[in-house]
Amino acid sequence: MAALAGLASWLPSPFGEVRQVQAGGKRLPGEPALRLVLERACANCHSNETTWPWYSHVAPASWLLEQDVSEGRKFLNFSRWPDYGPEGQSQLSAVASSQVQAGAMPPTRYLALHPEARLSQAEKDQLVAWFNRQSNQVPPARKRNSGKGIQRKENHMKRSVLFGLFIAAAAVIGLRFTQTSAQAAGGPVYTADGQLKPPTGYRKWVFIGAPLTPNGLNGGKAGFPEFHNVYVEDKNLTAYQKTGEFPEGTVIVKELLLLRKGNHPDGSADTASGRGFGEGEFNGMDVTVKESQRYANTNKWGFYNFGHHALPYEATAKLASKQECAACHIAGAAKTDMTWVDFYPVLRGKN
Ligand code: HEC
Ligand code: HEC
């Protein structure tokens, strides 16, 4: 493994000598508070002040980052801010303002490995206000479209290929992302347009219980057929047991399973251990996610349905409407952090 990583690092970077930075214009623009935000969220790719993380020494991750830095600096280098002049600053600021508002910068794939670059709403507002002030230095008539759209699209494609390579290499080499990586930590992972991706590895989280609503006891058609296997990560379970509240970023999975085929009309079967119910095929997945700000409208939790059917489930899920899911949880479980803790012996009575 070390040999592989070593070999990869030895390959020449396709992006040239990005790490050798020409001197000049070190200071970031703006007042001190703003500079701190730029430094944390933008400077690694858009200034000469790049801090190269550990994975930047392993190809092709290194190429990926070098490309980001080389492209990022080409488009916008805060260390050279004065050189752009009022017109350039104004143009760049207009683009930056909309990029930050849209959540396009810093890029999502970067945030997974650099949670320190994540911006709070207040910090976004602060940046946007500053960019808007810079942008308004010059009357709108003098601003021109920089026409870099096509080039950017190609860059995106190149980077996607490299990112794929990085993920493949990470799998081969057995690289583990730091604990802060959203995926590794089991936290929610979203697509660019805000849909939830299915949690991975949840069947090895803590299994906290299995409420059962058999079709046979629900007029042949249960809303959630039939066993509900519920999983939560160990650290979130532990936090709830201590505080009666789940931490931000908690994901709870309810995976549905049909009954094991029975010989009685209610779905039960005669077995060596007696007449009863057993679990059959996987039949769907519902997920709740705690993010107080993102889901302020539904009491801090978002609800997602990946289908109620056999495998494979949906590849992504849209946020469910309040009426479809949250309303019932609000009505019945608002006092226990939106979770029906009565059904789970390890959570019951811990709030
Ligand atoms: C991981 C590196 C990275 C980080 C961090 C990053 N960017 Fe970028 N940025 C890029 C790359 C690469 C491009 C050029 C290609 C593209 O648009 O994806 C770019 C393009 C831009 C552009 C477009 C410039 C133009 O002329 O079209 C703006 C504006 C921008 N970034 C602002 C920001 C701001 C503001 C931040 C911090 C809040 C930030 N970026 C953080 C890599 C980064
Ligand atoms: C009519 C009420 C109701 C509706 C609507 C509802 N739930 Fe639930 N949900 C429950 C109850 C009761 C439980 C616990 C017992 C069970 O699973 O049978 C539960 C359990 C859960 C759990 C396991 C964690 C917990 O809170 O106990 C998840 C995850 C979940 N629901 C997600 C959803 C999603 C996603 C939707 C919408 C697609 C949804 N629920 C709609 C009543 C509801």
At how many degrees (to 10) do helices 32-41 and 121-135 cross?
110
Any idea what DSSP says for residue 302? E
Residues 161 and 246 in one domain: no
Answer whether residue 52 shows pLDDT above 90.
no
Grouping H, G, I as helix, E, B as strand and the rest as coil, residue 275 is strand
3-state secondary structure of 317: strand
What does the alpha-carbon distance between residue 326 and residue 330 come to, in Å, rounded to a whole number? 6
List ligand 1's pocket residues with C-beta within 6 A.
41-42, 44-46, 68, 71-72, 75-76, 92, 95-96, 99-100, 105-107, 110, 117, 146, 148, 152, 155-156
Query: By C-alpha distance, which of 217, 229, 224 is closest to 268?
Result: 217
Name the pLDDT band for 138 (thresholds 50, 70, 90).
Answer: confident
323: domain CATH number is: 3.50.70.20
Ligand positioned closest to the Cα atom of 111: 1
Residue 247 lies in a domain: yes
**Residue 61 scores a pLDDT above 80:** no
Tokens of 246: 């789940």
Asked if residue 26 belongs to a domain, the reply is: yes
Assigned token pair, 10? 């030895």
63 within a domain of the structure (yes/no): yes
Asked whether the predicted pLDDT for residue 180 surpasses 80, the reply is: no
How confident is the model over 29-36, as a mean pLDDT?
A: 88
- Tens of pLDDT, residue by residue over 189-219, are 999 999 999 999 999 999 999 999 999 999 9
> Ligand 1, from 42, 87, 134: best to mutate by most atoms within 8 Å of Cβ?
42
- Helix (H) or strand (E) segment spanning residue 70: helix 61-75
Where helices occur in 107-249 by DSSP H, the ranges are 108-113, 121-135, 149-173, 234-243
- pLDDT greater at residue 137 or residue 71: 71
- Which one of 173, 189, 211 terminates a domain? 173
Q: What is the pLDDT of residue 17?
A: 59
Same domain, yes or no, for 214 and 165? no
Q: What is the pLDDT of residues 288-345, one digit of tens each?
A: 999 999 999 999 999 999 999 999 999 999 999 999 999 999 999 999 999 999 999 9
**Pair 162, 274 in one domain:** no
Q: What is the DSSP letter of 18?
A: T
Nearest protein CA to atom 24 of ligand 2, as residue: 339
How many A from CA of 143 to the centre of ligand 1?
A: 19
Dist CA 146 CA 56 (whole Å): 31
Burial bucket for residue 69 (CB in 10 Å: 0-12, 13-18, 19+): buried
Could you tell me the sign of the dihedral formed by the alpha carbons of 59, 64, 65, 70, in that order? positive
> What pLDDT does residue 151 have?
52
With the most atoms of ligand 2 within 8 angstroms of its CB, the residue from 208, 251, 330, 340 to mutate is: 340
The answer to whether residues 208 and 240 touch, using CB atoms and an 8 Å cutoff, is no
State pLDDT tens for residues 213-261.
999 999 999 999 999 999 999 999 999 999 999 999 999 999 999 999 9
Asked if 344 contacts 208 with a C-beta cutoff of 8 angstroms, the reply is yes
pLDDT of residue 136: 87
| Cα–Cα distance, 219 to 346 (Å, whole number) | 31
Contacts of residue 56, defined as CB under 8 A and 6 or more positions apart, other chains included, come to 62, 65, 66
Same domain, 296 and 151: no
Same domain for 141 and 231, yes or no, is no
Centroid of ligand 1 to alpha carbon of 296 (angstroms): 29
Residue 327: exposure state from Cβ atoms within 10 A (0-12, 13-18, ≥19): middle
**CA 130 – ligand 1 centroid, Å:** 16
Ligand 2 pocket, 340 CB below 6 A? Answer: yes
* Distance from the alpha carbon of residue 113 to the mean position of ligand 2, in angstroms: 32
**Domain boundaries, position 112:** 2-173
180 Cα–ligand 2 center, Å: 29
Verify that 73 and 142 share a domain, yes or no: yes
Classify 49 as helix, strand or coil. coil
Q: How confident is the model at residue 110 (pLDDT cuts 50, 70, 90)?
A: confident
Within this chain, do residues 307 and 207 fall inside the same structural domain, yes or no?
yes
pLDDT of residue 11: 57
Q: Of 302, 219, 218, 310, nearest to 256 (Cα)?
A: 310
What rounded mean pLDDT belongs to the chain?
A: 84
Mean pLDDT of the region 5-12: 50
pLDDT at 46: 92
Task: Give me the pLDDT at residue 3, please.
Answer: 46
Higher pLDDT, 345 or 139: 345
Query: Percent of the chain at pLDDT above 90?
Result: 57
Rounded mean pLDDT of 105-116?
86
Is 183 contained in some domain?
no
